[in-house]
Chains A and B, each alone.
Chain A
Amino acid sequence: MRFNNMVIGIAAILSGAFIFIYSQSFPDLGDGRPGASLFPMILSALLVIVGLVQIPSGVKNAKNGETLVTRLPEFNLHGFCNFLVVVMCVLFYIYASDFLGFIITSFLIMFVLTLTLRARVAVSIAVSLGATLCVYLMFNKMLMVPLPVGLFSF
């Protein structure tokens, strides 16, 4: 997705303004000398300025017929589904790994992902299991990373 520069500029101005106001609440060094808020204030002020700079080119592009949001040429529904599945898989890991344990979660994610990317089922199962065990052996056994254990204690 490609946004018109006006959208980018306005987003920058709004977030800059929010950060500027929010950082007013930070404590100072005493004697009226700025402290924690100095940098966020300078940076957010600059962000507003950079946002303003984006607007003219955005207006120009809009006049030349660019819509506020443009689809990229390589965009297609299948690819977009892949994108969503990748994001959902990571979210699934974040929320489920503590219950299911690393091995089950990782296997499920790999299985779903390889299938989504159109691998054959048998290949998909083999690769998912193999890669899961590789990662498990390498990180948990060799490198001693405490991967989530889960309710089934593995």
Chain B
Amino acid sequence: MLTFENLTHAAGLLADINVIIVIALASLYGLFVGAMPGLTASMATALLVPVTFFMEPVPALAAMVAMEAMAIFAGDIPATLIHIPGTPSSAAYVEDSYALTKQGQASRVMGVQLAVSVIGGFIGTIILIFLAPVLAEVALNFSTYEYFWLACFGLSCAVMVSGGSTSKALLSLLIGLLLNCVGIDVAVGFPRFTFDNPDLFDGFSFIPVMIGMFGVAEILRNVLVKESRIAPFVAQTGNIFKGVWEPIAKNWGNMFRSGIVGTAVGILPGAGADIAAWVTYGLAKRFSKTPEKFGQGTYEGIVAASAANNAALAGAWVPALVFGIPGDSITAIIIGVLYMKNLQPGPNIFVRSPEIILAVYGTFILANILLIPFGWLAIKLASKVLRVPRNLLYPVILMFCVVGAFAINNSVFDIGVMLVFGVAAYFMECNGIPVAPAILGLVLGDLLERSFMVSMMKSEWSLVPFFERPISAVLGIIVILIWTTPVIIPYIKRKMAKA
């Protein structure tokens, strides 16, 4: 697929002035959203969908890629300046960056974060470029049996990595899967749980649900608490890139390991940039000679996690493009966009529209290069951005939510869907029920049921083919191990202890 013709075609698609403008605007939007505490990258993506809906596929995807790369970096800025992470992905190292800020190193911290974010982004992009086509070649031979196990694998990961109570995560997953049962079913074409409402024949529209769960829920959460006074700024006038080299040079190996681990976490379905940051921060601590300094202001943890969260972004695109299984909640939304553009994700997309894939790679590279000047600008403007009054911002965001939910199907019904899911997501989070598994259930539920029912119809209700085909068998065993090891290992340990 890497023919010269495809490359020039992709370059031509990206060099279009409209695409460049779209990338620039999306970058600014990403920086703003990332730098605003309380606005997450997932929410920004959900709100961007209605706009990209009306674009050609290349600018639409380019906007998403540029936006997410900028937003994840920009989340570091308020974490450093006012001790509030701009997005959950910056939460892992907020203590360290703020501690350094109090020592008067704010500019240097942000300079380091910007530099390692760019490097992390490149690591993820390179892995994406080389791994995705190889996996796609393998996936060309995937039938419904393999896809069933892949869907199971994704859902299992979502439950296992969500943190907190596993039973609550499972509850959330079941809610998502059951909501997915609404609409015309795959096996017989019967409208389930629709109560004769044609708006429900296709099930809940994914984008309004997302806008509700990320956008509306966020607004509700924020208006409920009294506006706390923003912490006073620590004046920062120094040169951002001064003294950046030293902490990076000291953490060279740490940074590359974190970039690779971060990408791997991104590839895992259901785990995205935020989990990548926590995992690599923990790893850096374990490998460190001075683990006691973590949380007190050390560059080791910042370099590790800041590189990892940007690397995870590109990693999440690997399963999204190759299998149509999202690597994180942002790509979950992007898969919806691909379907709307009639670009079904899956191995065939590499044959059918190679120029789109190359354009995605190109945008990742471009976005990481652009991150340097744009990130610098964002750091310089940070104090202004952080002073935008919330009481004016939330109403505007709510209006965008309403219009965005409406725009996908031009249906008022979807605004109601958005509201219900927004309120529901708020109450779920209050009660320790994570939202992420429900979203993955909603995204993968259809694939799970369809691949299972279709497999059974093909095999005339024999379960044998699920373990007969080699790749299918391996995937099946992995899924079974994921669920049994947490039970078996303690049991073996106990036996060993007794013996």
A residues with a Cβ closer than 8 A to B are 1-3, 8, 12, 19, 22-23, 26-29, 33, 35-36, 38-40, 43-44, 46-47, 50-51, 53-54, 72, 74-76, 78-80, 82-83, 86-87, 89-91, 93-94, 97-98, 106, 109-110, 113-114, 117-119, 123, 127-128, 131-132, 135, 138-139, 143-148
Contact = CB atoms under 8 A, between A and B. Distances in A.
Interface in B166-203: 167-168, 170-171, 174, 177-178, 181, 185, 187-188, 190, 192-193
Interface in B146-182: 167-168, 170-171, 174, 177-178, 181
A119 B391 contact: yes
B392 A123 contact: yes
Nearest to A19: B178
Contact of A50 (B171, B192, B396, B423): B171
Interface string B203-244: 000000000000010011001111000000000000000000
A90 B453 contact: no
A76 B226 contact: yes
Contacts of A40: 178, 181, 192-193
Nearest to A132: B399
Nearest to A127: B392
Main secondary structure of the interface of B (DSSP, over half): helix
Interface string B426-466: 01001101000000000000000100110011000100000
Contact of B54 (A19, A38, A76, A144): A144
Contacts of B407: 139, 143, 145
A72 B403 contact: no
B181 A39 contact: yes
A106 B406 CA distance: 13
A36 B223 contact: no
A50 B188 contact: no
B291 interface: no
Nearest to B219: A86
B389 interface: yes
A78 B400 CA distance: 24
Main secondary structure of the interface of A (DSSP, over half): helix
A30 to B, nearest CB: 9
A131 B398 contact: no
Nearest to A33: B461
A79 B430 CA distance: 15
A143 B178 contact: no
Interface in B119-170: 167-168, 170
Contacts of B188: 26-29, 35-36
Nearest to A124: B392
Nearest to A80: B224
A93 B395 contact: no
Contacts of B389: 119
B50 interface: yes
Nearest to A102: B403
B410 interface: yes
B402 A79 contact: no
A36 B187 contact: yes
Nearest to B228: A74
B488 interface: no
A27 B167 contact: no
A144 to B, nearest CB: 7
Contacts of B177: 39, 43
Given A145-B407, A146-B410, A44 B178 contact: yes
Contacts, number: 159
Contact of B399 (A44, A75, A135): A135
A113 B216 CA distance: 14
Contacts of B398: 86, 89-90, 109, 113
18 contacts: A27-B190, A29-B457, A35-B190, A36-B190, A38-B453, A40-B178, A47-B174, A47-B178, A72-B430, A86-B220, A87-B220, A109-B398, A117-B223, A119-B391, A128-B395, A138-B51, A144-B54, A147-B406
Interface string B353-392: 0000000000000000000000000000000000001111
A40 B187 CA distance: 13
Given A53-B167, A110-B396, A74 B192 contact: no
A128 B392 CA distance: 9
B23 interface: no
Contact of A135 (B224, B225, B403): B403
B412 A50 contact: no
B415 interface: yes
A145 B403 contact: yes
Given A3-B431, A79-B224, A90-B418, 4 more contacts: A94-B412, A110-B396, A110-B399, A143-B51
B181 A43 contact: yes
* Top-7 shortest CB links A-B: A117-B391, A82-B223, A113-B395, A79-B224, A36-B185, A36-B190, A145-B407
B467 interface: no
A78 B402 contact: no
Contacts of A148: 412
Nearest to B184: A36
B174 A50 contact: yes
A74 B178 contact: no
Nearest to A95: B412
B57 interface: no
Contact of B223 (A38, A79, A132): A79
A26 B402 contact: no
Most A CB within 10 A of own CB, among B177, B226, B402: B402
A105 to B, nearest CB: 9
Contact of A83 (B223, B390, B456): B223
Nearest to B54: A143
A74 to B, nearest CB: 5
B419 interface: yes
